[in-house]
């Protein structure tokens, strides 16, 4: 009898434990839901630098939005924090009132670095929320802009390949990066062309190749400048688009891609301008023209060079001012694409290049672009100071707590529970901006033996970077004992790095980071 009672009791206890254990195991909720006090809320947004809050007037008022919110929260773990506050609950009414939030049904608000940043005003979709949380201060992604709705946006290179296999329609693809000025200027016309061609047997598409998952496209099509626009037929690359960068040019090309591009009106030859105050030089007259002049500044240019075109009116303005104010000296110009021998003689490698001569003898290069600076120089022509000595490599800098890795010592990460590795190139501008923040984070975390912030110079350790699928710089990757690997896609401030590496979830048996497949070089 006693045995039966104890067995029954044991069965109940085991069932309860199993239920509780199962609840913990299956829980995938990454949304913070226990904030009810104003002080706790302020503490949260101070310690978590990237916070999106969903305020609801009862959870039943926003079932779709809440579902999307929870799914996005699971994706951005380690990058941002998602918080749910039900303003209808009695214990949270005071908090909502204090924050001056009174949702009719729901409202999203973003908090950054301890303060309110902005209302979330993008699409209520997982992709949009994830994009926003990864870069809350960035521009609206093109694929979310209503004007670009008729452009086919490829999320990744694999979806591009799948499309190529099943859709044989003629397709124009613009490969771009969000920060590119030329890309930004072309987007409106490209979007309008897509809208006008909607319903026709053509595809107007685009791909953001700054994303790591799209790096294979850059390699496959040797994309080195932006935008690069390629034309495909029956899933095969046929040509590079060389028409006008406007709606009309794109539409005309798609309707007849084999037609020769319309010849743009030829620009007038600068040297043929009768109103020019510039002395235009040629190979034959170069030495005689300069020999008798005490002070001459020569602009070596190419007619197609955008920087030269922008400088030309400034150069003309400076020459006219010098004439009016009787400032001694001559401003001259030479078309380096025509006079290649002279350009090679003076080692001209880029445009515009400005060189200063005295009685035909070259003295030094000058770096001035606007009229005021040109005039200032010609009034008192002095050689610019020598360039600063080359920067020390990051590894040579003193005082850094960053561990620099190579093929020999990379396996030492097996002893570290939490390692954040920055794969970089010394010439990379984004790497240079990130470096001091990474240093500061390494300094702040140096006393924790479980944590290390490390770096790999990919110009020196090419095989190591290739083995870890590095396709762009900086690529930042999290490792745990070298058994767990996850891409880091959070912010690049020291606070972001510190917050990520001290996230208590990192101590869990399974990492909270979003995992991505690594593309092999």
Q: Is 458 a catalytic residue?
A: no
Annotation marks residue 428 as catalytic? yes
Catalytic: which of 96, 183, 308, 458?
308
Strand order of the sheet with strand 418-424?
403-404, 451-457, 418-424, 475-480, 484-487
* Residues in contact with 92: Cβ distance below 8 Å, sequence separation at least 6, in sequence order: 36, 85, 86
Residue from 183, 431, 458, 465 carrying the catalytic annotation: 431
Edge-to-edge strands of the sheet including 279-280? 279-280, 330-335, 296-301, 353-358, 361-366
Give the tokens for residue 496: 């972001």
- DSSP letter assigned to residue 483: T
305 is catalytic: yes
Helices and strands: H and E segment counts in the chain: 16, 19
Quote the tokens at residue 257: 């891609």
How far, in Å, CA of 268 to CA of 80, rounded?
A: 55
Of 120, 23, 128, 25, which is closest to residue 68 (Cα–Cα)? 128
Assigned token pair, 467: 């083995």
Say how far apart CA 55 and CA 264 lie, in whole Å: 56
* DSSP conformational letter for 32: B
- Is 308 in the active site? yes
Secondary-structure breakdown of the chain: helix, strand, coil percentages, each rounded to the nearest 5: 40, 20, 40
Which residues are catalytically annotated?
305, 308, 428, 431
């Amino acid at each position: 009898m006693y045995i039966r009672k104890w067995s029954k009791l044991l069965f109940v206890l085991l069932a309860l434990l199993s239920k509780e254990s199962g609840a913990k195991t299956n829980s995938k909720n990454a949304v913070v839901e226990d904030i009810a006090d104003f002080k706790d809320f302020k503490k949260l947004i101070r310690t978590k630098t990237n916070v999106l809050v969903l305020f609801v007037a009862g959870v039943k008022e926003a079932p779709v939005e809440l579902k999307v919110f929870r799914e996005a929260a699971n994706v951005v773990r380690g990058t941002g924090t998602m918080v749910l506050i039900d303003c209808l609950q009695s214990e949270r009414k005071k908090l909502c009132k204090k924050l001056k939030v009174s949702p009719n049904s729901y409202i999203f608000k973003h908090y950054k670095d301890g303060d309110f940043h902005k209302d979330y005003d993008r699409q209520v979709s997982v992709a949009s929320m994830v994009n926003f949380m990864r870069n809350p201060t960035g521009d609206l992604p093109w694929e979310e802009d209503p004007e670009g709705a008729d452009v086919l946006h490829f999320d990744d290179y694999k979806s591009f390949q799948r499309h190529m296999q099943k859709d044989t329609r003629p397709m124009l693809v613009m490969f771009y990066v969000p920060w590119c000025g030329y890309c930004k200027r072309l987007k409106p016309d490209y979007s309008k062309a897509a809208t006008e061609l909607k319903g026709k047997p053509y595809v107007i598409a685009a791909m953001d190749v700054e994303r790591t998952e799209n790096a294979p496209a850059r390699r496959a099509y040797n994309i080195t400048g932006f935008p690069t626009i390629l034309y495909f037929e029956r899933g095969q690359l046929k040509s590079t688009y060389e028409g006008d960068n406007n709606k009309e040019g794109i539409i005309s090309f798609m309707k007849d891609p084999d037609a020769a591009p319309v010849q743009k009106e030829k620009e007038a030859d600068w040297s043929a301008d009768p109103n020019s105050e510039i002395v235009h030089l040629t190979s034959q007259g170069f030495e005689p023209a300069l020999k008798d002049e005490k002070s001459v500044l020569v602009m070596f240019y190419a007619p197609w060079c955008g920087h030269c075109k922008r400088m030309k009116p400034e150069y003309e303005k400076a020459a006219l001012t010098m004439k009016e104010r009787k400032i001694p000296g001559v401003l001259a110009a030479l078309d380096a694409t025509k006079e290649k021998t002279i350009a090679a003689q003076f080692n001209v490698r880029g445009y515009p290049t400005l060189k200063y001569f005295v009685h035909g003898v070259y003295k030094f290069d000058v770096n001035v672009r606007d009229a005021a600076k040109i005039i200032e120089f010609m009034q008192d022509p002095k050689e610019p100071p020598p360039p600063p000595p080359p920067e020390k490599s990051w590894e040579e800098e003193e005082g850094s707590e960053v561990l620099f890795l190579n093929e020999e010592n990379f396996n030492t990460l097996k002893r570290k529970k939490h390692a954040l590795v920055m794969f970089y190139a010394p010439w990379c501008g984004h790497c240079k901006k990130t470096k001091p923040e990474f240093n500061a984070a390494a300094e702040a975390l140096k006393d924790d033996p479980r944590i290390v912030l490390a770096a790999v110079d990919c110009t020196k350790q090419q095989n190591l970077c290739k083995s870890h699928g590095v396709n762009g710089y900086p690529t930042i990757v999290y490792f745990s004992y070298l058994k767990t690997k996850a891409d880091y896609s959070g912010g690049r401030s020291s606070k972001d790095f510190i917050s990520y590496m001290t996230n208590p979830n990192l101590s869990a048996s399974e990492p909270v980071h979003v995992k991505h497949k690594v593309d092999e070089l």
